């Protein structure tokens, strides 16, 4: 990122540009030659998948905005107009709506990959925290986007979620009026949500740039969690990971296309094809699937303010995660106990998602309370204690050695493992 070209190009035009603005050499150093651990598995392809989906959302969103009208009297019909009259409008809209879901599928896999391999630990804490900021911006963007078609779920979802802020003592009701731009969810609300929904993806793009910059300082973590020790541990990003990422993207896009073309409304709610009606409350107000675990946490707490705090804390706890996990070993592959708790956490999050879609009554509420308590227990109690009590497995001496051992080429693994044993104690 320095101000000068670091590569000497033979092509005079390329050289002319690069000595004045070293954009070509910067790309070459950071995206082509970048030394990348040679043992990355397919879970490391989701960053690339996410970058592509951000681009898909921005491009399809810009086209939608050309035909959409952000007015409570016209919004619903303008979306129907996109679906029926605009050339390929249905495709653009279904790509955008399902693209949001696939963006979240990818980001949740990306996050759980980080949790499994300890990618949030030093020296990648800031990279992780920038990731949490990205998650928050994604959530705000998706929430506001869902309001735009001005269907029943749009209206009532916006009403329920904005109303949460009224639980804040003293200033709550004022904040809610300020969010609405009036005394109820209405035209000013729709307008500002559209404005922000258009703006935030570009903010997201800037924060993703910081995310990747922060990644390129320490370089990638890898499935062993052992840092790169010599050039033998790495391969250049291109062609090795451009090809691997390309393949993963192609497979992911097949699933995406299956939804877009064959079940475009499967992930949505039928009520959102009914125009918003402030006088008719739907029997169940449920958010999109990717918010369900958080919705379950919100409703698990009997007190409104408590629920709001718990919901925000469930993401807040991720901010301080690098300091909650006290183990010096990164990868769950060498942490037998942590590995089990990791999978329990995955099940708990899926369970919370299931409960978020259920009515808040009887056994569902009790189950939500238990799973919510466990979620926080995992981060606030189990992780700090595991670092102290867990006996970790011996780490390989290097990435190269672990790769060779797997392919049957390294006879020295046991000895090297023993040699590194003290390092591997949590
Ligand atoms: C728009 C959303 C995002 C994009 C485009 C994005 C992009 C990327 C890319 C390209 C990489 C390198 C390749 C890879 O490791 O997969 C990466 C790595 C990483 N990301 Fe993200 N990311 C996003 C969201 C997040 C979120 C929400 C978090 C965490 C809360 C996160 C945490 C990380 C971490 C810890 C790494 C380093 C992984 C490692 O090297 O082991 N990212 N990200």
Q: Which of 231, 252, 285 is the last residue of a domain?
A: 285
Whole domain around residue 195: which residue ranges? 34-285
d(CA 307, CA 302): 7
pLDDT at 6: 80
Give the range among 147-161, 310-324, 406-420 with minimum mean pLDDT.
406-420
Domain identity same for 212 and 341:
no
Whether residues 300 and 186 share a domain: the answer is no
Same domain, 178 and 248: yes
Reported as a pLDDT band with limits 50, 70 and 90, residue 418 is very low
Q: Is 69 a domain residue? A: yes
DSSP state of 98: H
Which residues form ligand 1's pocket by a CB distance below 6 Å?
44, 46-48, 50-51, 54, 107, 110-111, 114, 117, 119-120, 124, 127-128, 131-132, 134-135, 204, 208, 211-212, 215, 220-221, 318
In a shared domain, residues 328 and 182: no
Q: Say if 401 falls within a structural domain.
A: no
Does 410 map to a domain?
no
What pLDDT sits at residue 211? 98
Residue 412 lies in a domain: no
425 lies in some domain: no
Do 239 and 325 belong to one domain? no
In a domain, 417, yes or no: no
Domain-located, residue 414: no
Q: Which residues, other chains included, contact 122 with Cβ-Cβ below 8 Å and sequence gap of 6+?
A: 322
pLDDT confidence band for 350 (50 / 70 / 90): very high
Q: Whose CA is nearest to atom 15 of ligand 1?
A: 44
Cα separation of 127 and 149, whole Å? 35
**Do 114 and 137 belong to one domain?**
yes
Strands 234-236 and 35-37: antiparallel
The answer to whether the CB of 277 falls within 8 A of the CB of 76 is: no
Shared domain for 266 and 345, answered yes or no, is no
pLDDT of residue 130: 98
Examine the domain organization and report whether 74 and 121 are in the same domain: yes
410, pLDDT greater than 90:
no
In this predicted structure, what is the pLDDT of residue 42? 98
Question: Which of 142, 200, 215, 240 is the pocket-test mutation for ligand 1 (most atoms within 8 Å of CB)?
Answer: 215
Mean pLDDT of 391-409: 91
Residue 149 contacts residue 272 (beta carbons within 8 Å): yes
CATH number of the domain where residue 272 is located: 1.20.810.10
Distance (Å, whole) CA 116 – CA 346 = 10
**In terms of domains, do 26 and 109 share one?**
no
Q: Is residue 264 included in any domain, yes or no?
A: yes
- Compute, in angstroms, the gap from residue 134 CA to the centroid of ligand 1: 9
Residue nearest to atom 42 of ligand 1 (CA): 131
238 in a labelled binding site: no
Q: Are residues 308 and 246 in the same domain?
A: no
Give the end of a domain, one of 252, 285, 318: 285
Q: For residue 408, what pLDDT band results from cuts at 50, 70 and 90? A: confident
Per residue in 67-100, pLDDT tens?
Answer: 999 999 999 999 999 999 999 999 999 999 999 9
Task: Please state the domain count of the chain.
Answer: 3
Residues 78, 212 share a domain: yes
Regarding whether 222 and 95 lie in a shared domain, the answer is yes
Residue-wise pLDDT tens digits, 199-244: 999 999 999 999 999 999 999 999 999 999 999 999 999 999 999 9
């Amino acid at each position: 990122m320095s101000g000068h070209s670091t590569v000497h190009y033979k092509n005079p035009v390329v050289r002319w540009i690069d000595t004045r603005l070293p954009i070509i050499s910067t790309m070459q150093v950071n995206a082509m030659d970048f030394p990348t651990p040679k043992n990355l598995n397919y879970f490391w392809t989701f960053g690339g998948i996410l970058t592509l989906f951000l681009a898909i959302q921005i491009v399809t969103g810009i086209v939608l905005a050309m035909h959409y009208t952000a007015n409570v009297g016209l919004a619903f019909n303008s979306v129907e107009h996109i679906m029926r009259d605009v050339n390929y409008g249905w495709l653009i809209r279904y790509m955008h709506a399902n693209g949001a879901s696939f963006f979240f599928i990818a980001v949740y896999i990306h996050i759980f990959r980080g949790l499994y391999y300890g990618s949030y630990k030093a020296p990648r804490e800031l990279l992780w925290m920038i990731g949490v900021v990205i998650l928050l911006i994604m959530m705000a963007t998706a929430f506001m986007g869902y309001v735009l078609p001005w269907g029943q779920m749009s209206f009532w979802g916006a009403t329920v979620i904005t109303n949460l802020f009224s639980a804040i003592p003293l200033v709550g009701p004022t904040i809610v009026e300020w969010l609405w731009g009036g005394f109820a969810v209405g035209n000013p609300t729709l307008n500002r949500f559209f404005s922000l929904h258009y703006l935030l993806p570009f903010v997201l793009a800037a924060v993703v740039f910081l995310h990747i910059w922060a990644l390129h300082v320490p370089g990638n973590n890898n499935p062993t969690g052992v840092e790169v020790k010599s050039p033998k541990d790495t391969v250049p990003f291109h062609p090795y990971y451009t090809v691997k990422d390309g393949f993963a993207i192609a497979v992911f896009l097949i699933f995406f296309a299956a939804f877009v073309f064959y079940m475009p409304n499967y992930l949505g709610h039928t009520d959102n094809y009914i125009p918003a009606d402030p006088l008719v409350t739907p029997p169940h107000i449920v958010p999109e699937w990717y918010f369900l675990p958080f919705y379950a946490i919100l409703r698990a707490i009997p007190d409104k303010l408590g629920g709001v705090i718990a919901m925000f804390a469930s993401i807040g706890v991720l901010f301080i995660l690098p300091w909650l996990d006290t183990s010096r070993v990164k990868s769950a592959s060498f942490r037998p106990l942590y590995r089990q708790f990791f999978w329990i956490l995955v099940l708990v999050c899926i369970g919370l998602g299931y409960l978020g879609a259920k009515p808040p009554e009887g056994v569902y509420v009790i189950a939500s309370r238990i799973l919510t308590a466990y979620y926080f227990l995992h981060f606030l109690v189990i992780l700090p204690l595991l670092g102290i009590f867990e006996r970790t497995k011996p780490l390989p001496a290097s990435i190269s050695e672990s790769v060779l051992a797997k392919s049957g080429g390294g006879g020295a693994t046991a000895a090297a493992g023993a040699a590194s044993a003290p390092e591997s104690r949590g």
